[in-house]
Amino acid sequence: MTSNRRPTDWVSCLPPWPRHPPPRRSPRPPKSLRRRLNLRQTHLPQALILEKPAVHRHISGLEVTRESTIAQRPQAAPSPKKEGPRVNEEIRASRVLLIDEKGEKQGEMPIDAALDAAREVGLDLVEVAPDADPPVVKITDYGKQRFAEQKKKAEARKKQKSADLKEIKLRPNIDKHDYEIKGRYIRRFFEEGDKVKITMRFRGREMAHQHLGMELLTKVKAEFADIAKVESEPRLEGRQMVMVLAPR
């Protein structure tokens, strides 16, 4: 039996609202698209990559972050600074005061005339006083002069060599032949300017005969008295006796 009663709420007459599934996550862009958008330039050195702020783009409804990268052209390294005086065409002054190969002043002249004078005698034109007015140049063999300067510096470094401490180990009952070999080493160390530390070692019952070690150290001291001096007198350190000699 159908009811003829009219509904009071028209909303109740509507069909039920359909249930929609929860929103799905945006699909991941394909690998080819990701590779095209990711411009990291991995084949470039890291020092040549300049990073810029990220740029947001919308592709097919997807928000994609793109990091723009610019490769910077490598710059040429600065030329190394030349050491030593200016030679021949490296001299920039227009007029110079020339000194010839005999050390005599030839007066002020243009740089071209000074270069011609150096070429005539087969030597170099070297700027010896660049701060003078005009600069002073000299005709000389620059290669020979440079070799002499390097040799002089090497000799100065050799004289400034710091003395090293060499050690020679002896035993109270050392053989005569072994003692002579040790003596040759000691003499060579003194000739090279090094100090020598003489170490006398005692083993077992040898500690009861320390006078033998003292006699041997006294012998070494007397043998090299002409080329060495005693820097540290013999002293006992545990089971060994130590003495330090320095060249005169």
User: What is the reported pLDDT for 40?
Assistant: 47
Least confident of 57-61, 185-189, 228-232: 57-61
Those residues with Cβ within 8 angstroms of residue 190's Cβ, 6 or more apart along the chain or in another chain: 196, 224, 227, 228, 245, 247
Question: What is residue 130's DSSP assignment?
Answer: T
Q: How confident is the model at residue 80 (pLDDT cuts 50, 70, 90)?
A: low
The number of residues making up the chain comes to: 248
Q: What sign has the CA pseudo-torsion 38, 43, 46, 49?
A: negative
For residue 49, the model assigns a pLDDT of 47
The model's pLDDT over 115-148, given as tens digits with 9 standing for 90+, comes to 888 888 888 888 888 888 888 998 888 888 888 8
CB distance 48 to 57 below 8 Å: no
Q: Taking a C-beta distance cutoff of 8 angstroms, is the pair 93, 110 a contact?
A: no
Query: What CATH code is assigned to 88-144?
Result: 3.10.20.80
Say what the pTM is: 0.37
Question: In the numeric block, which tokens belong to residue 160?
Answer: 């400034």
Ranges of each domain in the chain: 31-70, 88-144, 165-247
At the top level of CATH, the class of 165-247 is alpha beta
Nearest-CA neighbor of 172 among 120, 122, 218?
218
